[in-house]
Amino acid sequence: DTPLDTLDGAFPLLGDHSQSGTEKIDPRFIGTHARLCKSIRYFELTKKFAADRLPCVSGSLICRSLSYFFVQFQQAHRGILSITGHLTRVFGVIWSLFPAKFRLAGYNVLRRLGERLYGKSNGYSTVQRLPFGLYLKFQGEVDWFCNEFNALRVVRRFTSIPVPHSLDLAIKPVVSDDPFSTPEGYLLTTRLPGQPVSSCLEILSDQDLDQISYQLKDYLS
């Protein structure tokens, strides 16, 4: 057997290990593909979504059966979410009776658990999805969170706009021995069905963005 040639350079794995004279890939192609792979994946998802939008043939038994199945599934899913939402709100009322220091410790534990289960939104986000159908906004301006807490309650009470329930607002006080410390707000809300727009913004079509824009205008008008 012919021994393998010694492979020098920064990319030894790109050598011709088979000794068959196969031409090696330019190492620069690997980096280019790595930079484009996310866009390629989004492009494939866009094509898949476009195919899913194709209308079913009228009178097709399969299409009618699938439509009926999805309607029943959504209705059952809404029922489960409704029951879960009521239990969450009841627990939120009881939970708000505990001292703020105790609640903040619990939120930090849930935040780390949420990061393990659902991952972080990004390195700069101060919003974290939690278990039990909850979301936590943390380390924010106290005045902003107070306004958001009250605004969510007003909107939910007097309009039909789908907004989450604001369950709790906890404030982390200033650290006495830290001259740069400022109060921090922690806002706990329920989770609405669906996916955050931020997680799929890059794959939304112009039609999707127009539909979101019209829907927001309808809410505000």
Mean pLDDT of 64-84: 51
Query: What is d(CA 31, CA 36) in angstroms, rounded to the nearest whole number?
Result: 9
Q: Residue 58: which pLDDT band, with cuts at 50, 70 and 90?
A: very low
In whole numbers, what is the pLDDT of the chain averaged over residues? Answer: 75
Model confidence pLDDT, tens digit, residues 91-135: 767 878 888 899 999 999 999 999 999 888 766 788 999 988 899
**Assigned domain for 201 exists:** no
**Assigned domain for 93 exists:** yes
CA-closest candidate to residue 133, choices 77, 192, 180 = 192
Please determine, for residue 66, whether its predicted confidence score (pLDDT) is greater than 50.
Answer: no
Stretch among 36-45, 143-152, 165-174, 195-204 having the lowest mean pLDDT:
36-45
Mean pLDDT of 192-212: 80
**Assigned domain for 39 exists:** no
Using alpha carbons, list the distances in angstroms from residue 120 to 94, 103, 127, 128. Answer: 28, 21, 8, 7
**Assigned domain for 2 exists:** no
State which residues form the domain around 93.
Answer: 83-195
Confidence (pLDDT) at 50: 62
Q: What six digits make up the tokens of 4?
A: 């393998």
**Assigned domain for 188 exists:** yes
Query: What is d(CA 218, CA 41) in angstroms, rounded to the nearest whole number?
Result: 33
CB 111 within 8 A of CB 136: yes
**Assigned domain for 136 exists:** yes
**Assigned domain for 106 exists:** yes
Please determine, for residue 214, whether its predicted confidence score (pLDDT) is greater than 60.
Answer: yes
Stretch among 55-64, 127-136, 200-209 having the lowest mean pLDDT:
55-64
Using alpha carbons, list the distances in angstroms from residue 84 to 54, 103, 133, 163, 177. Answer: 34, 21, 8, 16, 42
Domain total for the chain? 1
Query: What is d(CA 66, CA 129) in angstroms, rounded to the nearest whole number?
Result: 31
Model confidence pLDDT, tens digit, residues 139-189: 889 999 999 999 999 998 888 888 998 889 999 888 888 778 888 999 999
CATH of the domain at 157: 3.30.200
**Assigned domain for 16 exists:** no
